[in-house]
Chain A
Amino acid sequence: MSKKTLTLMSKDKQLFNIEEHLAVQSVTIRNMVKEDGASSVIPLPRVDSETLALVIEYLNRQQAPEEDEDYVKKFVDERGEIPTLLELAQAALDLDIKKLMDAACMKVADLIKDFTLEEVREALRIENDRTPEEEKAIRDEFQWAF
């Protein structure tokens, strides 16, 4: 039986080939294949090529089901940079690959859990729209958490 391959296209128009039975771990791709056979290229306009390469590396893994949990953990552990992990999590969210998304978010949560507020804002690029008074009120209420 010949294995069918699918072609995925990243944001910067790079093409990646992947076998169909591996690609359908992504619910998004599975639905696309089901709907129209997906004979042509599947465009992924929100995923850049580096991230897509990572996702494909993950999808191509050859692990026994019982080792899978450990593999996902190790896979995200090796990419310990927050921006990379966020990109990966975003791609996994778009492609609906739950395990990868959970693992990447878990890793980000692990990394930021002891951050100061400023560090969190910087890492996730969030604007501080709280006045110092409001911040102090929360700080006073939950003094032990700070």
Chain B
Amino acid sequence: MHDPRLPHLNALKRILRYLKGTLSHGLHIKPSAVDHLVAYSDADWAGVLILVGPPQGDNLVSWSSKRQHVVSRSNAEAEYRGIANVVAEAAWLRNLLLELSCPLSRATVVFCDNVSAMYLASNPVQHQRTKHVEIDLHFVRERVAIGHVRVFHVPFAYQYADIFTKGLPSSLFLDFRDSLNIRVPPDQTTGLILTCSKQIASNGSPFLNMISMNFTMSDYVCDELIVEILQKLPPKSVIRFTSVSKSWFSRIVCHDFVHKHALQAAKKPQKVFIRHLTYFNKRVQSFYTLHSEDQLPLSSKHGYIGITPLEFPGYNFHIVGSCNGILCLFDHKIHQITLWNPSIRRTLTLPDHHSSLRNCSSNGCQAAIGFGFDQVTDDYKIVKITYATYRRDLVPESSIYTINTGVWRAIAFPDTPLNNVSHACFVNGGLYWLVTERSNIGHCYVMSFDLSTEVFDTIPLLEPSWEYTQLTVIKGCLAVITNEGRNSWIWLRKAYKNVTCWSRDLKLNIDPYEGKISKVLQLTTNDDLVLITQCEGYILYNPVKGERLKLASVKGLSIILDVVSIIRSFGSKNVS
């Protein structure tokens, strides 16, 4: 183009005129099930064209026209090179579709108009004329052999790829262009039909009424909106609505939906889960009730109106932790761990873990369990520490179970003798235990475990000889409770300018009638705390106003056994 002449200008003008005349044209892509790929290849300058979809409603998805960078010795070689390009492009599309989870079951069909090239693709014999064709081009044969690609001949009149390589007669050109879905938009006709049929329908013909209904049905509410609404429903409704229609079912069961639903659920206020134990019909029974945080049961008369008690999986279980709507339960008697999602009523029992310390319960062998969610690997992890209180020669062991792998594996545990390990707290991606040292009776420290790096560490307490009763989570921070005579203090572990330290946050007065405070929990988003006291049981305490209200149990012979906060969610793909 270093020396443009009049013919070039004319050609350019022609192009501009064509563009001006076809301004309203566009590439039309219709929704259709992706079933197989069809590709057309023509070599001259090696035009490549790929169509996908069912034969009647093909959509053009990929096309290219480029000058071959090597001069070919024969026409067949040029065509064969074209096929290789098409197959490479089709293989990429196939992979892309596979990643979008719609794998193609049928082979890619490649049409070319050169018979020699067609034979060359399927017949793995060295031909006299094609000795020089580079080996890399023969990967087409491999694809044909494994059934991913089939090469067919196509007559000139249907060789759509010609549009990219040759100057065609205008009738053929227009025909091809139309076949490739390059068209003028169908104008406002769809809208017109709709209004017409609606007008007629209002005149009272039941048949036409039905037609107009059918017309609006599919797009009355768009897909995106339906998914948004479904994500905001409680799990119980979502499960019920799987049988609304097939498309709702497929939307709900996909993993992405479960994940997004969990994100939505995390934004909603948590529910307070109260576990009760009752003695009824000469049997100990365990059940639970769910309460919204502003309606905690403060009297046994009114507190439980409109709340249905539901069955708890077993009364031997002790609640280890609650995370993303899943409760981790531990049966002390048979050392069994179960994950339970009360929202969808599914349980997952973890396989037995055989620890060498397990069979020595006479030695005071104990297990401390921690349960948490690792955001890095998108996985739930359960950590088990087994230790023997009375036997100095037995070294503590620890192992971890991840839901994704489904097996227990041992992890390195710091070689320190333990006297007692508290229940675990899960906060900000880490598990924490309050540990009493054996060598230095009465001295405590906090043991931490990072769920993503899987490393144990220790956090010193302020003054190891103080009386620490419990580790808990308050205001999203790790907290310890210390007892000093008649007062208890809550200490929070907070970060100030990159330095994390303990800071005294709140004083709890001990009421002599209530006895010592054995546990402090924060279950709600307001300031209220739940105190568990030796004499009075569960007390809702507002530290600002100083109010104390007793949590009532269900009428009759029942006691409150556990209180945790929980979100209603599907939890995760594996436990759902």
**Is there a chain A Cβ closer than 8 Å to B248's Cβ?**
yes
* Mask: chain A, 53-80; 1 = CB below 8 Å from B; 0 = not: 0000000000000000000000000000
In this assembly, does A120 line the interface, its C-beta being within 8 Å of a C-beta of chain B? yes
Task: Return B341 CB to nearest CB of chain A, in Å.
Answer: 13
Are A90 and B237 in touch, CB under 8 angstroms? no
Q: Please, which residues of chain A bring their CB within 8 A of the CB of B222?
A: 90, 93
Q: Are A130 and B245 in contact (CB under 8 A)?
A: yes
Contacts of A75-110 to chain B: CB distance below 8 A: 86, 89-90, 93, 101-102, 105-106, 108-109
Given A126-B245, A129-B246, check contact A101 B221 (CB 8 Å).
Answer: no
The verdict on A117 contacting B225 (CB below 8 Å), with A125-B216, A125-B217, A126-B217 known, is no
- A124–B220 touching, CB < 8 Å: yes
State the CA gap A114–B216 with chains docked (Å): 25
Chain B nearest Cβ from A82, distance in angstroms: 10
Per a CB cutoff under 8 Å, which of A105, A138, A144 touches B225?
Answer: A105
Within 8 A of B (CB), among A107-146: 108-109, 112-114, 117, 120-121, 124-130, 134-135, 138-139, 142, 144-146
Taking the closest CB of chain A, its distance from the CB of B329, in whole angstroms, is: 19
Least CB distance from A19 to B in Å reads 28
CB distance from B207 to the nearest CB of A (A): 17
Q: How far is the CB of B224 from chain A (nearest CB, A)?
A: 6
Q: Contacts of A146 on B, CB cut-off 8 Å?
A: 240
The answer to whether B221 and A138 touch across the interface, beta carbons within 8 angstroms, is: no
Measured between alpha carbons, how far is A129 from B248 in the docked complex, in Å? 10
Residue B184 at the A interface, CB < 8 A? no
- The smallest C-beta distance from B312 to any residue of chain A, in angstroms, reads 14
B73 part of interface (Cβ distance < 8 Å): no
Asked if B143 is an interface residue, CB under 8 A from chain A, the answer is no
0/1 interface trace, chain A 25-39, chain B, CB 8 Å (1 if under): 000000000000000
B234's closest neighbor in chain A, by CB? A113
List, in ascending order, chain B residues with CB within 8 A of A127's CB.
217, 245
B241 close to chain A: CB less than 8 A: yes
Contact of B183 with A by CB under 8 A: no
Question: What is the distance, in angstroms, from A77's C-beta to the closest C-beta of chain B?
Answer: 15
Is B405 interfacial (CB-CB < 8 Å)?
no
> Is B357 close to A, CB under 8 A?
no
By the criterion CB–CB under 8 Å, are B221 and A90 in contact?
yes
A40 → chain B closest CB, angstroms: 20
- Quick check: B220 and A93 within 8 Å, CB to CB? no
Task: Name the B residues within 8 Å of A121 (CB-CB).
Answer: 244-245
Q: Out of B221, B228, B233, B243, which one reaches A125, CB within 8 Å?
A: B221
B345 adjacent to chain A (CB < 8 Å):
yes
**B241 contacts A105, C-beta separation under 8 Å:** no
**Which residues of chain A have C-beta atoms less than 8 A from B221's C-beta?**
86, 90, 124-125
B244 touches A126 (CB 8 A): yes
Q: C-beta contact mask, B459-488 vs A, less than 8 Å → 1, else 0?
A: 000000000000000000000000000000
> Which residues of chain B come closer than 8 Å to A124, judged between CB atoms?
220-221, 226
Given contacts A86-B221, A89-B225, A105-B229, contact A129 B245 (CB under 8 A): yes
Indicate whether B232 reaches chain A with its CB closer than 8 angstroms.
yes
- A135 to chain B: which residues have CB within 8 Å? 243
Give the chain A neighbours of B241 by CB distance below 8 A.
117, 120
Looking at the assembled complex, report how far the CB atom of A60 sits from the nearest CB atom of chain B, in whole angstroms: 24
Q: B27 near A: Cβ within 8 Å?
A: no
Contact partner of A128 among B229, B237, B245, CB < 8 A?
Answer: B245
Chain B residue numbers with a CB within 8 Å of A108 are: 229
The reply on B409 being an interface residue by CB < 8 A is: no
* CB atoms of A105 and B228 under 8 A apart: yes
A130 touches B246 (CB 8 A): yes
Residues in A whose Cβ lies below 8 Å from that of B363: none
Q: Is B242 an interface residue (CB 8 A)?
A: yes
Q: Which residues from A are CB-within-8-Å of B230?
A: 109
Contacting pair B232 A126 (CB below 8 A): no
Instruction: Kindly state whether residue B575 has any CB partner on chain A within 8 Å.
Output: no
Q: How distant is the Cα of A109 from the Cα of B345 in the complex, in angstroms?
A: 21
Which partner residue on chain B sits nearest A11 by CB separation? Answer: B191
Q: Which residue of B lies closest to A118 (CB)?
A: B244
Query: A101 — which chain B residues lie within 8 A by C-beta?
Result: 228
By beta carbon, the residue of chain A nearest B235 is A145
Chain B's closest residue to A109 (CB) is: B232
Bound CA span A106–B244, Å: 19
Is B236 located at the chain interface by the 8 A CB criterion? Answer: yes
Q: Are B244 and A120 in contact (CB under 8 A)?
A: yes
B91 at the interface (CB under 8 A from A): no
State the CA gap A142–B346 with chains docked (Å).
Answer: 10
Given contacts A105-B232, A125-B213, A129-B247, 18 further A-B contacts (CB under 8 A): A90-B225, A93-B224, A93-B225, A101-B228, A105-B228, A108-B229, A109-B233, A109-B237, A112-B237, A113-B233, A124-B220, A126-B245, A126-B247, A127-B245, A128-B244, A130-B246, A134-B243, A138-B242
* Interface residues in chain B, defined as those with a beta carbon under 8 Å from any beta carbon in chain A: 213, 216-217, 220-222, 224-226, 228-234, 236-237, 239-249, 345
The 9 closest A-B pairs by CB, nearest first: A109-B232, A125-B220, A113-B237, A138-B243, A105-B228, A145-B239, A145-B240, A109-B233, A105-B229
28 A-B pairs, CB-CB below 8 angstroms?
A89-B228, A89-B229, A90-B221, A93-B222, A93-B224, A93-B225, A101-B228, A102-B228, A105-B225, A106-B232, A109-B237, A112-B233, A117-B240, A121-B244, A121-B245, A124-B220, A124-B226, A126-B217, A126-B245, A127-B245, A128-B244, A129-B245, A129-B246, A130-B243, A130-B246, A130-B249, A134-B243, A146-B240
